[in-house]
Structure 1
Amino acid sequence: MTDEIVFYTNPMSRGRIVRWMLEEVGQPYRTEILEYGTTMKSPEYLAVNPMGKVPAVTWQGVTITECAAICAWLADAFPQAGLAPALGDPGRGTYLRWMFFAAGPMEAAVTAKSLGLLAPEDKQGMAGYGTFDHVVGALERAVSEGDYICGDRFTAADVYVGSQIQWGLMFKSLPDRPAFIDYAARIGGRPAAARARALDDALMPKPD
């Protein structure tokens, strides 16, 4: 067991979300870069994450996978960073609501739309997201009611939800609504976000 945070990632993965979260937390960590199809599927890494996917984080004998879970766990593990409303704080409900919304209905709807697999009208009640337009409308309201998901306070929910919005705008999987554009610019200007981008960009494969 070690006190060192170990971060398993690839710069072309959702690990970029966790990198940002780690920079916001401000604790030292060691980065292990894994490659698709090789070291990600090695026995050593499958012992960490049987899915053979990144990101993952280990600390003090605990292994955490799934970006939303990692962000929420880091916020609770290091409360001094002030990235999550405490238990008993009414804002924690809002925080958890949108964190899970982005990990569930939002990601499912965006992925289904990108693959041309949205639920047909007569089956929409069977899909957790309902319709893509309903998801987008709910998300727009969430980022329009204050500077951040929890009003005037930046939290780990902004790291996770915000990353999903930034990528949605970049890859055109979300509409270019002013509320999304303004929110993405606001959170993207944070120093920790800039540090995380620089670290991951430096690890990107160099063109021949």
Structure 2
Amino acid sequence: MSGKIILHHAAPSRSSTALFMIEEIGAPYELDVLDLQKEEQYRPEYLAINPMGKVPAIEHEGQVITEAGAICAYLADAFPAANLAPLPGDPLRGLYFRWMFFQGSCLEPAIIDHVLKREPGRRGMMPYGTYETTVDTLEKAIEKGPWFLGERYSAADVYVGSAIAWGLQFKLLPERETFKRYVARLNERPARQRAMAIDQKLMAAAKPA
């Protein structure tokens, strides 16, 4: 699949993960930068793209895809030459999907509830069990490394790895050596360095003179 991607983006935000993913696949793209402080994400023209008024969203070959995880999964399949997702029939595909879904269904909800000090419900009703179990499970997944699929780097590292980096940066995850070593490896990826440099420029340009 080819065709230019339009990324509706704000820096820094969850759309930084989508930018990282697009840099990994090496496809041509265009940025539509939204100023969240000015609430440009609620403009009627953007709400027509994503009624949730959130970033990221991408447009590609007549389709609109929202949610960072869905974008990463879509792009990994749409651009198989980047080799960021095991193909159907590959023994690693099940493990890949496990971690692709873990971020949105377990990790982020656990972090948000923990940070906001929300009163937990009954353990059996929580989508992630407990914050501690979620963090321990995450650590175990990458302690042997170097990536979520062992030696194979994938979109799961782009997506979940970005969340780990975010969690460490804002002290939302414990500063365990396993997490720090993993993020150090992730930050060595040229695509991540390019995406971070773009975000730095956007943030610098947005600062008042």
Whether the TM-score (by the shorter chain) exceeds 0.5 is yes
Who is 1:147 aligned against? 146
User: For each residue in 1:115-134, what CA deviation from the matched residue of structure 2 results, as whole angstroms up to 9, or x when unmatched?
Assistant: 111515xx111101110000
Who is 2:4 aligned against? 4
Who is 2:33 aligned against? 33
Asked if the contact 2:4–2:27 (Cα under 8 Å) also holds between the matched residues in 1, the reply is no
Who is 1:55 aligned against? 56
Aligned residues: 205
Asked if the contact 2:147–2:157 (Cα under 8 Å) also holds between the matched residues in 1, the reply is yes
Map 1:25-174 → 2, pairs under 5 A? 25-36=25-36, 37-120=38-121, 123-174=122-173
Residues in 2 aligned to 1:118 and 1:135: alpha-carbon distance in whole angstroms:
17
> Per-residue deviation at 1:38?
3.3
Asked if the contact 1:58–1:64 (Cα under 8 Å) also holds between the matched residues in 2, the reply is yes
Residues in 2 aligned to 1:142 and 1:115: alpha-carbon distance in whole angstroms:
26
User: For each residue in 1:155-175, what CA deviation from the matched residue of structure 2 results, as whole angstroms up to 9, or x when unmatched?
Assistant: 000001111100111111100
Asked if the contact 1:109–1:118 (Cα under 8 Å) also holds between the matched residues in 2, the reply is no
> Per-residue deviation at 1:43?
1.2
Asked if the contact 2:76–2:84 (Cα under 8 Å) also holds between the matched residues in 1, the reply is yes
User: For each residue in 1:59-84, what CA deviation from the matched residue of structure 2 results, as whole angstroms up to 9, or x when unmatched?
Assistant: 11111000000001000000000110
Residues in 2 aligned to 1:153 and 1:26: alpha-carbon distance in whole angstroms:
18
Give unpaired runs (5+ residues) of structure 1: none
Secondary structure (helix, strand or coil) at the match of 2:128 reads coil
> Per-residue deviation at 1:207?
4.8
Of all paired residues, the percent bearing the same amino acid is 48
Residues in 2 aligned to 1:69 and 1:57: alpha-carbon distance in whole angstroms:
10
Residues in 2 aligned to 1:81 and 1:3: alpha-carbon distance in whole angstroms:
15
Report the aligned-residue RMSD. Answer: 1.3
Letter of the aligned partner of 1:192 in structure 2? A
Residues in 2 aligned to 1:167 and 1:61: alpha-carbon distance in whole angstroms:
31
Asked if the contact 1:34–1:40 (Cα under 8 Å) also holds between the matched residues in 2, the reply is yes
> Per-residue deviation at 1:192?
0.6
Secondary structure (helix, strand or coil) at the match of 2:7 reads strand
User: For each residue in 1:26-75, what CA deviation from the matched residue of structure 2 results, as whole angstroms up to 9, or x when unmatched?
Assistant: 00100000122532111111111000111100111111000000001000
Asked if the contact 2:8–2:55 (Cα under 8 Å) also holds between the matched residues in 1, the reply is yes
Asked if the contact 1:10–1:33 (Cα under 8 Å) also holds between the matched residues in 2, the reply is yes
Asked if the contact 1:113–1:132 (Cα under 8 Å) also holds between the matched residues in 2, the reply is yes
Residue 206 of structure 1 pairs with residue 207 of structure 2: yes
Asked if the contact 1:143–1:183 (Cα under 8 Å) also holds between the matched residues in 2, the reply is yes
Residues in 2 aligned to 1:48 and 1:155: alpha-carbon distance in whole angstroms:
28
